[in-house]
Amino acid sequence: MKHRDDNTNLETAGQDSFLDVTTNIVGILIVLVMVVGIRAQNPIADPNLMPSPAETELADLGTQAIRIEGDWHQIDKRLAAVNSEIEARSLEREALATMIAAAEKEIGDRRAKLASADKEDFDLHREIDESKAAVEREKAELKDFDSQTPAVEQVNHYPTPISRTVLGHEVHFQLADGRISYVPMDEFIDDVRNDMRSSGVNFSTISDKVGVVGPHNGFEFRYTMDVVTDRGRGIIGLRAKEFQLVPVGVQLGETVEQALSRKSEFRNSLAAHSPRDTTVTLWTYPDSFEAYRQIKEELHKMGYATAGRPLPKGVLIGGSDHGTKSSAQ
């Protein structure tokens, strides 16, 4: 009996050891499962498993290729739409050309069927329609023109616009290169008289006497004189058959701005001549028309009558017994 009980205890002890081993194995498996789960949630990067730069670049190029292919498909769709639109417009243009040709043919057929009088009437009505259309276009252009604000230009008005021949005293000025210079005509005439008196020649024998006096104020006076005779009275006097004033200096006179100042040679030359009986003659070259306008306006303010004598470029101031007198305003 006692031996049997010992065997029973041995069996019981073996079963307990088996259960302990099994329990330990199950616990180990549970721990392994938990470790695997944790590692699955937090993977550890393995340098050997990281993609290389070439693989990364290849992946980027693949992405770009996919995007470019998508853009190409979009462009292809747009190009197809544009080609479709062009084709539709071409068809419309062809249809319109066909309609125009048909209309012209119909007009030609109708004219061919009409009598000559009817043809004239037809053409007349057609010209009337075209004229009406032209009138409407002109009205539209005129309306646009009227709607525009024109530039305002000031025009100076002078109280004596009618010119009159100068019979009294004249004072002469030259306008050239935008400068004004006094022409001492009175001084030259006095010099000519003195030259003739001092020459000691017999007036009855004078025929086209040529002489030069000056210079004065930058001019020389070159003249040709002859004798004025009368059958009953004999010799009456001398006259200047022709004359010319030749500039002998450069940049004669003063600028317009200087001339219009208070103390100028221009004003000083006029100081001895009253505006009541003096006409100012302006010999003007083409390059000084604007200066002429300014000087004339100032002379009008000063009360002087003004005569304009335009000169072509290169022509000298001069006169002859066949010339004309100045006309003043």
Residue 259 has pLDDT above 60, yes or no: yes
**What would the two tokens of residue 93 be?**
């243009």
Least confident of 46-50, 110-114, 279-283: 46-50
Three-class secondary structure of residue 82 per DSSP = helix
How far apart CA 286 and CA 315 sit, in angstroms, is 11
Cβ–Cβ contacts within 10 Å for residue 199, how many?
Answer: 11
| Edge-to-edge order in the sheet of strand 234-247 | 209-216, 219-230, 234-247, 317-320
Residue 325 has pLDDT above 70, yes or no: no
How far apart CA 242 and CA 223 sit, in angstroms, is 6
Q: pTM of the predicted model, to two decimals?
A: 0.47
Query: What percentage of residues in the chain have a pLDDT greater than 70?
Result: 70
- β-pairing, 169-176 with 278-284? parallel
Least confident of 41-45, 139-143, 165-169, 297-301: 41-45
How far apart CA 239 and CA 58 sit, in angstroms, is 114
Determine the average pLDDT of the residues in 54-58.
74
Three-class secondary structure of residue 60 per DSSP = helix
How far apart CA 303 and CA 290 sit, in angstroms, is 20
Residue 132 has pLDDT above 90, yes or no: no
Q: What letter would DSSP give residue 13?
A: H
Per-residue pLDDT tens digits for 39-55: 666 555 555 556 677 77
Q: How many angstroms separate the first and last alpha carbons of the chain?
A: 175
Which helix (H) or strand (E) is 117 found in, with range?
helix 116-147
pLDDT for the residue numbered 42: 59
